[in-house]
Structure 1
Amino acid sequence: MKNIFKKITILGLSLSLTGVVISGCKDFLEVQPKSQVSISDAFSNVANATNSVIGVYDELMGDNGYGIRINMYYPYDSDEMIVSGNIDNGRRGIGRYQLLLTNTEIRNPFLQLYRGVEKANLCIEQIPQMALYNNGTDAEKKELRRLHGEALTLRAQFLFELIRNWGDVPAPFTPAYKQTDLFLPQANRDETYAKLIEDLKTATDLVPWRTEAGVRNERITKGAAKALRAKLAMFRGGYSLRSNGKMERNADYLNYYKIARDECADLMAKRGEHTLNPSYEDIWRKLTSFVYDPQGEIIFEVGAGGSNSNSDSRMGNYNGPSVNAASRFGTGGGGLLVLPNYFYAFDSTDTRRDVSTTFYAIAATNIKSPRRLGELTDGKFRKDWRVPLLPGTALNVGYNWPMIRFSDVLLMFAEAENEINGNPTAAAIAAFEEVRKRAFTNKNSPAIGKTPTTKDAFFNAIVDERYLEFGGEGIRKFDLIRWNLLATKIAETRTKIADMKARRGAYANVPQYLFWRNNGEELQFLNSFYKANTTTTAPTGWTRLDWAQHLTGNLIDALPLDQAIARFFTTGKSELFPYDQATVDAYQGKLKQNPGY
């Protein structure tokens, strides 16, 4: 819930202060005065500059930001989760990789991200020019430098999102009013990444640590800037789809892994600022109940609030378990489905399984009923965890979006160390095991396994651990792209689900049926998820549920599930989105479409 930055509608919209509104590429040259406030007034003092930076933050959230589309539509399908329902020219088209240039869900987020870039550019230009920046009181100078660092970090986030979805995108670094041609050519993403990584180095010196700032995690601090810098460096060092239709990485990738390693090491040395919450479930219980986490595991989260499509989020309403509107929790859920192979990727004692996945729906009576194996839903943003509850049909639940967590820092460090040194160092192994052991109540459980000590085996362990750790957080698909593993994992997923349907190989013991009953409002199962059971008759007092049996005739896309996942994925094309038709038309031939579209 947005409790640090409140929505400011007068001075917060810093883009409108220039008298230029970028509402679409075709509208770049249309001047639409929206305010009588001049730039000099907007940046005349610390309070007004703060409001302008709030306007930059505003472009992160809402339906076209990290309120639903960018974080809930764009990262799927992958090998963890898929969008629910029949294919369309909307979110399901995105999920199934049938991205038409007229898709209704790709244009508005694209434009909102660029609005964020424009607002950030104005703040980055104007704040250092303020007289108070160098001649104010010590407190004023400190606060203005902080605002400057926040704007640099926010611009990096907006452009990072544009790059990882569209590749070589136009990358403006000056405000629109100073540009003679608003139809900028596409920039080489490597050069853009290099510029942003350098900007973030500057930003880390300008913003305070979390404990110095005295704020929660909705505002960028040194930890957030460092963590984002590490993430951008990992992506700059990873694979991406190039204009030649090939997945490639640059020869200098280790230089960027070193940047990521060093930033993560700095964060790991400041455990008073950010560290792991000892309980995986508690992270999400706190997030969905608006309780501050003193460990600061979520390093930066996008604030939501206002109960509207511009500033709030729809996590919990769109995704999570299906909830009947007449229940005490209100309507919601079901937009994302957990793939059966993801559920079975967890050891039975891994506490992350029942946080990241849900196998129940909630009826009008508040009583839970079980979901079949092809109907499981994600669980980190479930509406029935919200305190206080929002009954009825409220679309906006107020959940913040976690942009990056400390466990990501630990695993990036481990991955980078392994790549740089050619094998996992003791420090890399310790970081990896810290994340893995947190997932198990018994830290000495044999289920944790033995950490590999060779480069390839350790890398594969990192791939698997990030899979288990970040389910439903919009991370997996982009990880697989930077590793050049998306096509491989989609193919593996189809094979695994086919094996599960046939109950063969690693899935021979998946039960054909489960037997269940209610214990009050909760569910109780008679047999194990992990032991074969072909009994077809329910004992007295129990109800039979199709489990592996459900995969024989599931109805997702009216096709077998193993065929429906990422149904139209094409290597050398689907790793990037197309530019929408309106944008292509506006550029009048000057914009190169992404491969395959």
Structure 2
Amino acid sequence: MKTANRYFAFYITLPFVLAGLITSCKKQLDLEPQSAFDEQYVFSNVTNATAALVGVYNELAGDFGYGSRLSTFYPYDTDEMLGILNTSTPDNSSRDLSRYNLQSTNAQLEGPFNQLYAGIERANICIKNIPNMDLYKNGTASEVMQLQRLYGEALTLRAQFYFELIRNWGDVPALFDPAIDQPDLFLAKADRDSIYNHVLDDLKLAATLLPWRNEAGATNDERITKGAAKALRARIALFAGGYSLRRPSNQMQRRDDYLTYYQVAKDECNDIMQRRDAHTLNPSFKAVFKDAIDAHKTDPYGEVIFEVAMAGGNGVSDSKIGYYDGPRFYVPGNSTLLGNGQIRVVPTYFYAFDSLDTRRDVTNAPYYNAADATKTVQTMINMTSGKFRADWITNPAPSSAVQYLGVNWPLIRFADVLLMFAEADNELSNGPTPAAIAAFEEVRKRGFAGNANKIGVTPAQKEAFFNAIVNERSFELGGEGIRKYDLIRWNLINQKILDTRAALTKMLNKTAPYDKLPQSMFYKSKCPDVIWSSSLYQPAASATPSGYTKIAWISSITAAYITNVAQLFKPNHSELLPIPQPSIDANPNITQDYGY
């Protein structure tokens, strides 16, 4: 949670006595709500309606939201990073999730699935009631503006919940009214295209109701603004127009009218790009994470368009970002080693970066923190994701042996908008226009600290430019829970997994283009930095230099490690998750599809 965002933070930290206690029941039961506060009371004024809306936001956070499962469990394995590695037999939990060895009884499925639907229910209650409030039509100008914003936020949040359900489970039951108004709660799966169309229309409406980030005191990036609604609409449109695993064919397919959705994405991104007063790139890639997100501060440039607020030090409303991922650490004055460091970098991803690309050493962290604040370099295969690291967390810094560090999850950034624009434009124009090339190069130049002479030649042909986009999105957005889903919507995930294993085998066998890489590295730690004795791209000396420590580097790769990468991924099956078994048991109209 950002300490500077006091207005929204006030509501985030309140018990949800209003939003959380709105209950609903089937009409046939003819029961009174058990809450002391009925809908008429909750939606009688702006303050109470705001509290109800915050109850919707809360379903983004916590262990089953973007505080853990949706951010650090579900997006792996990919050609960038791996989830927690297998050390024993299958566990029907996080290890199997990463290896694509999934059963419907997997322990990590039910909680997120249910929480996303809880968010939809809370959003539905707000969407039903806010525009029907007397103040929505007859209040003061200020009251009307505030309520319109709340309505727009609720529409956007519901769209995000459905988007997360679809990209993980495909076709799912769709409810767009509160449960109390549903004639039948045992709904079958709805076609995802109908859900996509519905939420894209919702987001179009939401954008008309919301302020830009720099308008009406809307600088809080923990709240949805016009830019966030438009950016999320662009993202969802690209998925609606992308490949996905379909019923009943069990094949990866895309819609015939997919270009319609690419046009939506391009238009929305272009609108945001015209408002550089609200959103633009932070000149420093590192500062986006070290000086803003990890420092619990708002990005001053608005590059982080929307981030999920985390607070409270618990599994309901906080996050394990920086604890589960990132390098392990010691709390100052505490001898206990904290952090799991479970998101591990694939060596070929590290070496895909140009050596001058500043994003390499932000996205990848090769060390653990020692008790004296120096760094202990890990073997190559134990390098962790690096954007969210406890030794960067400040304001406040970790002060006790806790897992919840209050680090927000960036749901979408302006860099993503630029790259989505470039991708959509390339597809629509049968090759990149100057505008697409400029957007692509803006992101790439920032990665090379503004040095345009180092970014290489941008391809001008459609296929080559698309491949450049595929790579650039990886360099820019690595470790942000995006890569797996990008590869799926491009129908590239199986090929990228196979390519990664093949490249790792070349590393193992010291075959070109990896034959010159160092088998070991020598380092010393001078707080707060790691100092290498020689190049990461040339063979190292055989003897350990004085004052340095030797660590296995390329030599740490084994055949067993390579086999473990996305080990049981099966194309036209593993792109989606099975419906949690308890949901199947509770609703006889939900089918288990995609070969599960």
**TM norm. shorter chain > 0.5:** yes
3-state secondary structure, aligned to 2:60: coil
Q: Aligned partners of 2:104, 2:232: CA distance in 1, in Å?
A: 30
SS at match of 1:67: coil
Deviation at 1:512, TM superposition (A): 1.1
CA shift for structure 1 position 475:
0.2
Is contact 2:533–2:545 with CA below 8 Å preserved after alignment?
A: no
2:399 is paired with a residue whose SS is coil
Pick aligned residue for 2:258 from 247, 253, 271: 253
Q: 1:185 aligns with which of 184, 188, 209?
A: 188
What is the SS of the residue equivalent to 1:140?
A: helix
State whether structure 2 residue 579 is matched by structure 1 residue 567. no
Name the residue aligned to 2:154: 151
The equivalent of 1:40 in structure 2 is 40
- The residue aligned with 1:488 is 495
Unaligned residue ranges in structure 2 (runs of 5+): none
Say whether the 8 Å CA contact 1:77–1:96 is kept in structure 2. Answer: yes
Matched, 1:95 2:98: yes
Which amino acid counterpart does residue 266 of structure 2 have in structure 1? R
Name the counterpart of 2:479: 472
Three-state SS of the structure 2 residue aligned to 1:538 is coil
**Matching residue of 1:556:** none
Mapped to 2, the partners of 1:308 and 1:239 lie a distance apart of 37
Partner in structure 2 of residue 174 of structure 1: 177
Corresponding position: 1:129 with 2:166: no
CA distance in structure 2 between the partners assigned to 1:353 and 1:197 by the alignment: 35
> Quick check: 1:19–1:31 contact (8 Å CA) kept in 2?
no
Instruction: Please identify, of 521-530 and 309-318, the stretch whose mean Cα deviation from structure 2 is larger.
Output: 521-530
Partner residue of 2:229?
225
CA gap 1:31/1:80 in 2 versus in 1, 3 angstroms: farther
Q: Aligned residue for 1:66?
A: 66
**Alpha-carbon deviation of 1:33?**
5.4
- Alpha-carbon distance between aligned partners in 1 of 2:150 and 2:282, rounded to the nearest angstrom: 29
Letter in 2 for 1:593: Q
Distance 1:10 1:97, change over 3 A: closer
Whether the 8 Å contact between 2:24 and 2:179 is mirrored in structure 1 is no
Q: Does the 8 Å contact 1:576/1:594 carry over to 2?
A: no
Residues 562-590 of structure 1: per-residue CA shift (max 9 Å, x gap): 110111101111000001111111122x2
CA distance in 1, matches of 2:216, 2:557: 51
Are 1:395 and 2:398 counterparts? no
**Cα separation, 2, equivalents of 1:11 and 1:333:** 34
> Aligned residues, how many?
581
Task: Name the residue aligned to 2:278.
Answer: 273
**Which residue of structure 2 lines up, in the alignment, with residue 592 of structure 1?**
591
1:337 corresponds to which of 315, 332, 344? 344
Q: Percent identity over the alignment?
A: 49
SS in 2 for 1:118: helix
Q: CA deviation at 1:13?
A: 2.4
RMSD: 1.8
Report the Cα offset of residue 20 of structure 1: 4.0
| Counterparts in 2 of 1:123 and 1:547: CA distance versus 1, 3 Å | same
Tell me how far apart the structure 2 counterparts of residues 511 and 30 of structure 1 sit (CA, whole Å). Answer: 72
Partner residue in 1 for 2:519: 512
Alpha carbons 2:238, 2:261 under 8 Å: kept: yes
2:239 aligned with 1:235:
yes
Q: How does 1:132-531 map to 2 (within 5 A)?
A: 132-214=135-217, 215-243=219-247, 244-285=249-290, 286-324=292-330, 331-387=338-394, 388-441=396-449, 443-446=451-454, 448-520=455-527, 522-531=529-538
Is it true that 1:538 corresponds to 2:544 in the alignment? yes
Q: Which segment drifts farther, 96-105 or 436-445?
A: 436-445
Counterpart Cα distance in 1 of 2:142 and 2:503: 59
**Which secondary structure state, in structure 2, belongs to the residue aligned with residue 469 of structure 1?**
helix
In 1: Cα distance, 2:30 partner to 2:332 partner: 48
> What is the TM-score with the length of structure 1 in the denominator?
0.94
Map of 2:554 onto structure 1:
548
Specify the SS of the correspondent of 1:190.
helix
Change over 3 Å in CA distance of 1:295–1:311 after alignment to 2: same
Closer, same or farther: CA 525–569 of 1 in aligned 2, 3 Å: same
Assess, with a 3 A threshold, how the Cα gap between structure 1 residues 392 and 217 changes in structure 2: closer, same or farther. Answer: same
Does the 8 Å contact 1:327/1:362 carry over to 2? no
Q: What is the deviation of 1:332?
A: 1.3
Deviation string 1:253-277 (CA, Å, 9 cap, x unpaired) is: 0000000000000000000000000
Of 501-510 and 464-473, deviating more is 501-510
1:109 and 2:112 are equivalent in the alignment:
yes
Structure 2 residue identity aligned to 1:111: N
Instruction: Name the SS for the 2:358 alignment partner.
Output: coil
Partner Cα separation in structure 2 for residue 483 and residue 264 of structure 1: 19
Q: Give yes or no for contact 2:73–2:97 (8 Å, CA) kept in 1.
A: yes
Provide, for residues 399-438 of structure 1, a one-character-per-residue CA deviation record: whole Å limited to 9, x for no partner. 0110000000000000000000101000000000000000
Check 1:105–1:327 CA distance in 2 against 1; reply closer, same or farther (3 A cut): farther
Unmatched 5+ residue regions in structure 1?
A: 22-27, 553-558
Q: CA separation in 1, counterparts of 2:30 and 2:409? A: 33
Name the TM-score, length of structure 2 as normaliser: 0.95
Q: Give the aligned partner of residue 555 of structure 1.
A: none
Partner SS state of residue 214, structure 2 = helix
- Structure 2 counterpart of 1:499, one-letter code: K
SS at match of 1:537: coil
1:62–1:313 Cα contact (<8 Å) kept:
yes
Does the CA-based 8 Å contact 2:373-2:527 persist in structure 1? no
